[in-house]
A = this chain, B = another copy of it.
Amino acid sequence: MSKTIALSLAAVLLASVSGAGIAQSLKDEPIQPIEPAKVTNPGLVELGKKLYFDPRLSKSGFISCNSCHNLSMGGTDNLKTSIGDHWQKGPINAPTVLNSSMNLAQFWDGRAADLKAQAGGPIANPGEMAFTHELAVSVLQSIPGYVAEFKAVFGSDTVDIDQVTKAIAAFEETLVTPNSRFDKWLKGDKTALTAAEAEGYALFKDSGCVACHNGPAVGGNSFQKMGVVEPYTASSPAEGRVAVTKDEADRFNFKVPTLRNVELTYPYFHDGEAATLKQAVNTMGRIQLGKSFSDDENAKIVAFLKTLTGEQPSFPIPILPPSSDTTPRPTPFGM
C-alpha cells in the first residue's frame, strides 16, 4: 500500500469516527441545531417579503407585518403588548416570527394551524391592522407592480387572499437563524461556549427546563400550562388554549415559546411581564419547576440562553411597487 493511500484511508476512517461521534452526541441532546432555509420558489419568497413589509395591507396604511414582527429586532416589537390600529393596546405579547415555521401551531393559543393560516389573522383583526381580506386584495389588485408579480408567481391575473397568505408564509419560512454559538458547540466546536455558558446549559437540562424547551427551536412544539407548581397572575386577559378547544383543562395552556434568539425577543411571557431574562428564568423556575435558582445559577442559565442567538435573516430592504391612480387610499383617521 502506498503511503498516500494509507494516509487517505486513515483520514476517511478518522472522519467517519468523528462524524459518528458528533451524530451520537447530537442525538443525545434535547436541542438540535437550526438548519439554513432551503428556498424552492424564490419568486414566491420575494413577493412574500414585499407583502410582509407593506403597510398597505392595513386600513391605516401604517402597519405592516414587520411593524410588530420587526426583523431588525429579533422578529418582535420588543413591547409588552403590541400597538394596533388607532394605537389600540393589544391583548398579548407579539411572538417572534424567527424560526416560527417550526412551531406546532401559530399564535400563543395555537388557533392557526400554520403560518399561512396565521398571516391572514392580523390583517383582518380590528385591533391590529383593522382591514378586511377583500379590501387588502383590492388594494393589491390595483397596483400594477404587484399584479405582474402575482401573475409571474401564480400564473393568474387576479390576486386572492390565499395567494397573499401563501406568499407571506413562504417568506416567513426562510426566517430561520442557524449558526448560533450554541449550534456550533452542538456540532462539535467545544470552544464555542465558555465554561459558564456550558454550565448554564447543564443546569438548563438538569433543572428540567428542557422538558418543554427542546427540539431545534428550543420550544414551540407543545402547549403547556403557565403556572404548574404555583399559579401565575397574568396582566393579560388571554385564556390560552381553552379559547380554541373549549376544554377547561386547556385553560391557561399556552404554546411554549421558542428560546432561539431570546436575547433579542424581550419582554417575555404571553403578557410581556418579564422585562429581563433574569426575571423570566426566576419566574419560570419558581412557577413551573418549584425551583429557586441562586444568582449564580440564574446568571449561568442566562449566559447559556444568550448563546442561542443565531444569524439574523439578512436581505436588502424591499422596494414596494407604487400605488396607481385607482388604488384605494389608506384611511388612518376615520374613513
Is the CB–CB distance between B330 and A79 below 8 Å? yes
A208 within 8 A of B: no
List the B side residues contacting A316 at CB < 8 Å: 314-317
Q: How many monomers of this protein are in the complex? A: 2
Interface bits A319-335 vs B (CB < 8 Å: 1, else 0) = 11011010001101100
Q: Which of B83, B315, B320 contacts A317 (CB 8 A)?
A: B315
Chain B residue at minimal CB-CB distance from A315 = B316
Chain B residue at minimal CB-CB distance from A324 = B276
**Bound-state Cα–Cα, A323 to B62, Å:** 25
A71 within 8 A of B: yes
**Bound-state Cα–Cα, A278 to B324, Å:** 11
- Chain A binding surface SS class: loop
Is the CB–CB distance between A322 and B263 below 8 Å? yes
**Bound-state Cα–Cα, A175 to B114, Å:** 38
Known: A72-B53, A263-B322. A332 touches B79 (CB 8 A): yes
In A52-70, the 8 Å CB interface with B consists of 53-56, 60-62, 67, 70
Is the CB–CB distance between A323 and B79 below 8 Å? no
A78 within 8 A of B: yes
**Bound-state Cα–Cα, A66 to B42, Å:** 26
**Bound-state Cα–Cα, A71 to B317, Å:** 8
**Bound-state Cα–Cα, A320 to B72, Å:** 6
A291 within 8 A of B: no
Is the CB–CB distance between A312 and B322 below 8 Å? no
A257 within 8 A of B: no
Question: A320: shortest Cβ distance to chain B, in Å?
Answer: 5
Is the CB–CB distance between B275 and A329 below 8 Å? yes
List the B side residues contacting A79 at CB < 8 Å: 60-62, 330, 332
A266 within 8 A of B: yes
Q: Which of B73, B312, B323, B333 contacts A78 (CB 8 A)?
A: B323
In A11-55, the 8 Å CB interface with B consists of 53-55
List the B side residues contacting A72 at CB < 8 Å: 53-54, 317-320
29 A–B contacts, CB within 8 A, in A order: A55-B73, A55-B77, A60-B83, A62-B67, A62-B79, A62-B83, A72-B317, A73-B320, A73-B322, A78-B330, A79-B332, A83-B332, A86-B87, A87-B87, A89-B332, A263-B322, A266-B323, A267-B329, A275-B329, A276-B325, A277-B325, A278-B325, A312-B319, A314-B316, A314-B317, A314-B319, A315-B317, A316-B316, A316-B317
Nearest 6 Cβ contacts at the A-B interface = A87-B87, A276-B325, A314-B316, A312-B319, A72-B320, A264-B322
